[in-house]
Amino acid sequence: MINHLTNDQLNSYLHQTLTDAEREALDRHLAECPSCRARLDGHEALQRRIHYELAASLRGVQSSPRMSYTAIAPRLKHSRRFMMVLKQSNQFVYGALTMALLVALAVTLYFFVSNLSRPTPTTPEEIKPATSAPTVVKPAVVTPTVTVKPTVTPTVEATPPPADLNSTGAMFRGNPQHTGFFDTPGPERGELKWKFKAKGMGGVSPAIVKGVVYFGGGRDNYLYAVDSETGQEKWNFKTDGTVETPVVAGGLVYVGSWDKHLYAVDSETGQEKWKFEIGDRPLAAPTVASGVVYFTSKDGYIYAVDSASGREQWRFKADGCFATSSSPAVAEGLVYVGSGSAKECGPDSGRHLYALDSAAGQEKWRFEAAGPIESSPAVAEGVVYFGSHDHYLYAVNSQTGQEKWKFQTEAPVWSSPAVADGVVYFGSRDAHLYAVDSQTGQEKWKFKAGAVVNDPVVAGGVVYVGSDDNYLYAVDTQTGQEAWKFKTDSDVWRSPTVADSIVYFGLDNPYLYAVQ
């Protein structure tokens, strides 16, 4: 279905009030839409006709005799005299103001030089405040004793990011950059610690903070909080739609529901703090960075919402729609997100990776692939890595959008890549897990699974990745050899999360697993 241009867009195009990016987008649409092109031509013809009719009408108007030079000349003489007097008075005022400024500058300079000529106290006795005038000497006491140390010492870091953001399991893919790297040891063996049964179908990635696992029950409409040690439920929060992947920051759990809301829920009590209504259901996992929640929706917008209040900061409209499983990555003042789910938008719609200003929501650049981009991008050391339906993994400069390299597989790359120690790990629908040099795009090794390989994560020198063959695999990062594998009851198709030597992951069934 084609979304035709509005009359406001057509008028803005004719009057040239668009930005270069907006005009380029409308040019592409007009080239492909005969209906909008015809409407544009009609608007242009109407404006020309109005212009000609107005000009003809003006030519037929004759000025009044009272507007002749003879009639207004006497008044011009009086006006000229008045302007001369006004000009002379303005010169007097400007001169007085200039003189006052010069006097003020001279006084300021005098006191400045006087202060410089005073000796600076160097001993404790000299800087001791006088008893007769303590309020005058007090500033001199503060200045020499403080020197520059407070601005250099670690006390400058008095406002660090919330503790939850430092937790490797709080954010989808480990952090706002979505690198899929967890700075914690992983399990040495694949043994079941516990599994938790939700009320309905699951399949989302969990978030772990301070001994609590938060995850969406998917189609049962619940958000759950489960004790990470015992697997016992602490609380649940009911929505009116399917629940997506949650993230945790600043004591709040942020999660989208197909009831067309983003929720902020207290992580301790499970009580709703606020909810934000959107035009359609939210997609994938939200991302929290610098006090803002970024998330996409099926309505074709990416939203930026204040994390404390739930107030909208900005929204950006994609050309088609955003990919259903591409979560926004945030790094270096930019938001990166893929578009073009074949299922949602059609096979030829939206094949872009967008880079948006995180503060204002303005497009900085976009990169067009040959297929839709389902992959959640990962950002590391100035490079964005992402996969596409065109069978490629791409590496793109994070500031310019220029391609650095691309790596071809035998099938679409829906997997979100993980980046650690100069290596990019990603899965393909050709049933392989790949390890590629992050700088050159050269293959280091590949591991064969029994079916489609999904989103990998890295912890403690091991890659943990699920497959549609019902296994969770642990693969050595150096050799690409299998360390162990764990058999489940269904597809392992979402990102695992690693915390405290345990791997947590959901399935395409009601269960959440904890493997130690």
Band (70; pLDDT cuts 50, 70, 90):
low
Token look-up 């791409």 returns 394
pLDDT at 141: 34
Spatial separation of the C-alpha atoms in residues 342 and 349, rounded to whole Å? 8
Residue 15 in domain: yes
- Give the end-to-end CA distance of the chain in Å, rounded to a whole number: 49
227 and 360 together in one domain = yes
Which among 40, 56, 72 is the end of a domain? Answer: 56
51 and 172 together in one domain = no
Spatial separation of the C-alpha atoms in residues 378 and 328, rounded to whole Å? 9
Of residues 260 and 347, the one with the higher pLDDT is 260
Number of domains composing the chain: 2
Write out the two tokens for 493: 């198709």
Which among 39, 56, 73 is the end of a domain? Answer: 56
Residue 450 in domain: yes
Of residues 342 and 186, the one with the higher pLDDT is 186
Residue 467 in domain: yes
Residue 74 in domain: no
Residue 479's identity, in one-letter code, is T
Residue 47 in domain: yes
- The partner residues of 366 in beta bridges, in order of sequence, read 354
46 and 188 together in one domain = no
Spatial separation of the C-alpha atoms in residues 306 and 291, rounded to whole Å? 6
Residues with Cβ < 8 Å from 487, sequence gap 6 or more? 470, 471
pLDDT tens sequence across 276-330? 999 999 988 999 999 999 999 988 899 999 999 999 999 999 887 787 788 999 9
176 and 48 together in one domain = no
CATH number reported for the structural domain that contains residue 204 in this entry: 2.130.10.10
50 and 172 together in one domain = no
Q: By residue range, what is the domain housing residue 25? A: 7-56
237 and 378 together in one domain = yes
Q: What is the mean pLDDT of residues 177-183?
A: 92
Residue 356 in domain: yes
Token look-up 């399990």 returns 187
Residue 87 in domain: no
232 and 357 together in one domain = yes
Residue 266 in domain: yes
